[in-house]
Structure 1
Amino acid sequence: MIATIEKTNTLEEFLQQAETKPPQEFINGVITPKPMPQGEHSTLQSELVSAVNQVTKANKIAYAFPELRCTINNSSIVPDVAVFVWDKIPRTEKGRIANRFERLPDWSIEILSPDQSLMKVLDKLLFCSENGTNLGWLINPEDETILVVFSDQKVKIFRDDNILPVLDKIELNLTVNDIFNWLNI
Structure 2
Amino acid sequence: MTVSLTQVLSLEDFLKLPNLEDSPAWEYVDGIVIQKPISKTRNSILQKRLLTEVDSQTGDYTALPELRCTFGGQSIVPDIAVIAWHRINLNEVGEPEDDFTEAPDWTIEILSPDQKVIEGVRLTLTAQQIFAWLKVGQARQSQ
TM over 0.5: yes
**Equivalent residue for 1:45?**
47
Q: Deviations over 1:130-184 (max 9, x none)?
A: 1142x111111117xxxxxxxxxxxxxxxxxxxxxxxxxxxxxxxxxxxxxxxxx
Q: Which ranges of structure 2 fall in alignment gaps of 5 or more residues?
A: 139-143
**Paired residues, what number?**
136
Matches within 5 A, 1:2-151: 2-18=2-18, 19-56=21-58, 60-118=59-117, 121=118, 123-133=119-129, 135-142=130-137
Q: Deviations over 1:19-73 (max 9, x none)?
A: 11111100111011010100111011111111111222xxx31100000000011
Secondary structure in 1 matching 2:3? coil
Alpha-carbon offset, residue 11 of structure 1: 0.7
* Runs of 4+ displaced beyond 6 Å: none
Q: Distance in 2 between matches of 1:93 and 1:71?
A: 22
Is contact 1:80-1:111 (8 Å) kept?
yes
Q: Distance in 1 between matches of 2:57 and 2:89?
A: 20
Q: Which ranges of structure 1 fall in alignment gaps of 5 or more residues?
A: 144-185
| TM-score with structure 1 setting the length | 0.68
Q: Distance in 1 between matches of 2:28 and 2:61?
A: 26
- How big is the alpha-carbon RMSD for the aligned residues of Structure 1 and Structure 2? 1.6
Greater alpha carbon shift after TM alignment, 26-35 vs 2-11: 2-11
Is contact 2:113-2:135 (8 Å) kept?
no
| TM-score with structure 2 setting the length | 0.87
Is contact 1:2-1:115 (8 Å) kept?
no
